[in-house]
Amino acid sequence: MAHVVMALLSVLTLVAVRLLGADLWQLLVLAVAAVLLHAGALTAARRPWTGYALAALGMLVLAATPSLSWSPVMLPSAVCFPLMLWLLTARVPFRSSAAALAVAVLGIVLTELVAWARLPADLPARLGEGGLLMLVVGGVWLAALLVRRRHEAGRRAESERLAAAVADERAGIRRDLHDVIAHTVTIMVARIEAAAVTTADPATRRELGDIAETGRDAHQGLRAMLATLGPRADARPISLDALPDLVASAASPLHAVTFDEVGARRPLSLSAEVAVVRTVQEGITNALRHLVPPVEVTVRLHWTPAEVAVEVRDDGGTALRGAGGQGAGLMGIEERVRTAGGTLSIDDGDDGWVLRARLPTKKAA
């Protein structure tokens, strides 16, 4: 360790000073100062302020030692003081480190004033030594401050990276729950309701009705869970080729869901393609969830060279069923469509709901 090397050098320095004629009491005072400095170095690892205070006291003792032919602050153990300043600056808030720097500057000023009072004619040497000590102390403090801020920036970056990873994970969970499970639950409930209507057994009809109600409760619980996972879900790559199967899976004896595509398909951006699929999915899900069957839903894609128009239309069903509050699906679809450069509209007419989205196609290169 550095302070051990400095201690050995200080012992050699004291022996040399004794051989040059220094008094024994002066050597004892210098030894006490060195002990204080090294005690501060040993203490600073756990108690930075205590270590710094001991080192500052040791420097004060050195400055007060009279009648030496060299400046007492040049004792090798004095190097422990800037080390203590470095450790303190690296661990305490900025204002505290600034206070520690002020203590160091004040100590240098007092040291040079004492030396100048003893030898008034030695002013140039005092100014030169004081300036050098100021540069050393200021440089150590500034370097420690810069290192500390770099470490803090690294910790903040790591914390932000972890927070972003958690947010991405939550968004992925929410996306899968909303876009896959919620849609599947809605279709499952619709099929159960259709089976309940078509069965001739009253007991089976009641049982299927209870199952459908349980499914709706599960769907409401799922929506509540989605609300805790965040306000949005990131886009997930899905192909337009999945639309026919998506529409077919929603059909039942009481839910007539048809698909019609007009015009030649044009290339779409990834975000636009996802927006088309999710718009269709959300339109079907809302119709099956909010309307009492029998329900007719028509999905239509109309392609032009500049855009694709998506329309999901229902006939209003037998009646409107309360669904327990507004979900985040339509808001998510609106955000998807807007992000892809398109527009979304929702029309509530006497003959049902119409969900329309217009999304731009890719321009030919």
Tell me the pTM.
0.42
Q: Which residue has the higher pLDDT, 355 or 179?
A: 355
The tokens for 62 are 């050195």
Adjacent-strand bridge partners of 260: 300
Tell me the CA distances in angstroms from 9 to 2, 236, 340, 346, one per residue in order.
11, 68, 72, 85
Average pLDDT in the 327-345 region?
83
Average pLDDT in the 27-31 region?
78
Residues 51-66 pLDDT 10s: 888 888 888 777 777 6
Residues 115-159 pLDDT 10s: 677 666 666 766 777 778 788 888 888 888 888 888 888 877 777
Check: CB of residue 57 under 8 Å from CB of residue 14.
no
Pairing verdict, β 307-314 and 352-360: antiparallel
Average pLDDT in the 181-202 region?
72
In whole angstroms, give the CA distance from residue 334 to residue 360: 15
User: Which range among 12-21, 327-336, 348-357 shows the weakest confidence by mean pLDDT?
Assistant: 12-21
Q: Residue for token digits 């006939």?
A: 315
Region at 316 (left for phi over 0; alpha for psi -120 to 50; beta for the rest)? left
Q: What confidence score (pLDDT) does residue 324 get?
A: 47
Tell me the CA distances in angstroms from 248 to 149, 194, 289, one per residue in order.
59, 15, 17
Helix H segments across the chain? 2-19, 24-43, 48-64, 80-91, 94-118, 123-176, 183-198, 202-229, 243-250, 270-290, 329-339
Q: What confidence score (pLDDT) does residue 54 get?
A: 84
Using alpha carbons only, give the angle 83, 8, 135 rounded to the nearest 5 degrees: 30
Task: Give me the sign of the Cα torsion angle 42, 46, 50, 56.
Answer: positive
In whole angstroms, give the CA distance from residue 75 to residue 9: 9
Residues 276-312 pLDDT 10s: 988 998 888 888 888 888 889 999 999 999 999 999 9
Residues 72-99 pLDDT 10s: 666 777 777 888 888 888 887 888 888 8
Contacts of 7 (CB under 8 A, 6+ apart): 34, 38, 77
Residues 150-164 pLDDT 10s: 888 887 777 777 767
Residues 199-254 pLDDT 10s: 777 778 777 777 777 766 666 556 655 554 554 444 344 678 888 888 888 888 88
